[in-house]
A = this chain, B = another copy of it.
Amino acid sequence: MIDTPTLVDQYCHGVLRTELGLGTFETLLGRSAGPPAAGTTFFDTQTGFAVRRWCPPLLGLEPHCPPALYLARRRELGVLESGRRLLRATGISTYLVETGPPGDLTGPVEIAAAGDARAHEIVRLELLAEQVADTSGTVDALLANLAEAVHGAALSAVAFTSVAAVRHGLALAPAPPGPGEVRGAAGRWLAGRRVGGALTDPVLLRHLLWIAVSSGRPLQLHVGDEDPMTLGEFAAATAGLGTDLVLLHGYPYHRQAAHLTSVFPHVYADLGPALARTGARAAAVLAETLELAPFGKLLFSSGARGLPELHVVGARVFREALTRVLADWVRDGAWSGRDAQRVAHMIASGNARRVYRLG
């Protein structure tokens, strides 16, 4: 049958370094900022059920055992040992890690050591800009330092990512902003912000994106809850410049994301959270993504953050979904077995190796 011997996780975060109680663990399974509704729990989600399916056996317990039992066993082993066991069971050989805001999440070096794998850094543009702003006193300094910081990061990072661009107006004005516009926005931002203040100004975000585009490194765009069809003009404006765009988090608009990958040669789509979050439904969601997307345009990721359990779920759910979907098509005669095996390798790792030049 179809096998996927090794995975490149093209987008994830590190894991927490501290021991976790049931409440904190549960919070990291949810998607809202706060606690679950009264009378409900985030364990009663596809993510919760997928964690309970795949992770207990890796720590020596029965699948679907109660959460409290699992958490007790996790603490018994300790956060380091349980993390090592979990990550080493993912089948991921290379992690691309968004280093995000500073905190208690492990970085690429630690992930690589814990998971016995390679890891590379993805730099979040907004965070980079905020760090630059913290140490730039004038508009001139800010703008010069921004360009330098992005190009400097491009020397070691494998990709850039932006979480705010789509949400804050990228779709409305796909072209780079003019110098006067940028200076004005930079001045207002510097004047109004305190140290650590977030970048949400659409003009500066666009300016930042276009610096990143000029670096040649693939640019990952968090689509969030937006319909990626709104990105059509930005995609058209950046076509042929030699920089690839990778759409993250397209669900429930994953078919629209797939459509864009079929229309623009430089646009790719991530499969990550759409599968990891939908658990028992991942095969169906993956199959929908495979309707219109050329098979060279889809990239596996776990999208995991905070819990190594989420790296496990991302990888296991993906492998099972991919195997099931492609095997069905081979059995029906719609695909040849040879093509299915080839496409499985492309999506699991080959496409990512090519796009991020992982060698």
| Residues of B close to A266: CB separation below 8 A | 37
Out of B49, B256, B284, B296, which one reaches A252, CB within 8 Å? Answer: B256
What is the CB-to-nearest-CB distance from A281 to chain B, in angstroms, rounded to a whole number? 5
| A337 shortest CB reach to chain B, Å | 9
Number of copies: 3
Contact between chains at B290 and A44 (CB < 8 Å) = no
Shortest CB-to-CB span from A217 to chain B, Å, is 16
Bound together, the chains give a CA A278 to CA B295 distance in angstroms of: 12
Interface residues on A, range: 35 or more
| A281 with B288, Cβ < 8 A, contacts A53-B334, A296-B44, A339-B64 known | yes
| Interface residue A333 (Cβ < 8 Å from any Cβ of B) | yes
Choose from B45, B63, B285, B295 the contact partner of A262 (Cβ within 8 Å): B45
Query: Top 6 closest A-B pairs, CB basis?
Result: A40-B296, A252-B255, A64-B336, A280-B334, A278-B291, A37-B265
B343 close to A44 (CB less than 8 A): yes
Cα–Cα distance between A21 and B282 once the two chains are bound (Å): 39
A259 an interface residue at 8 Å Cβ cutoff? yes
Q: Are B263 and A31 in contact (CB under 8 A)?
A: yes
- Shortest C-beta distance, A218 to chain B (Å), equals 12
Q: How many angstroms from the CA of A265 to the CA of B31 in the assembled complex?
A: 10
Does A100 sit within 8 A of B, measured CB to CB? no
Q: Is A41 an interface residue, CB under 8 A from the partner? A: yes
One digit per residue, 1 when the CB lies within 8 angstroms of any chain B CB and 0 when it does not, for chain A 57-93 equals 0000001100000000000000000000000000000
Partner of A32, one of B50, B252, B265, B334: B265
A-B contact pairs, 26 of them (CB 8 A): A31-B263, A32-B264, A32-B265, A34-B265, A36-B265, A39-B354, A40-B294, A40-B297, A44-B296, A44-B343, A45-B262, A45-B293, A46-B290, A46-B291, A49-B335, A49-B339, A52-B336, A53-B333, A53-B334, A64-B335, A64-B336, A64-B339, A225-B232, A252-B255, A278-B291, A280-B335
Give A257's nearest chain B residue, CB to CB: B252
Question: Which chain B positions have C-beta within 8 A of A332?
Answer: 280
Q: How far is the CA of A295 from the CA of B37 in the complex (A)?
A: 11
Query: In the bound complex, how far is the Cα of B47 from the Cα of A291, in angstroms?
Result: 9
**A109 an interface residue at 8 Å Cβ cutoff?**
no
**B-contact bits for A281-311, CB 8 A (1 contact / 0 none):** 1001101101111111100000000000000
Does A152 have its Cβ within 8 Å of any Cβ on chain B?
Answer: no
Residues of B with C-beta under 8 A to A34:
265
Q: How far is the CA of A44 from the CA of B295 in the complex (A)?
A: 6
Residues of chain B within 8 A (CB-CB) of A263 are 31-32
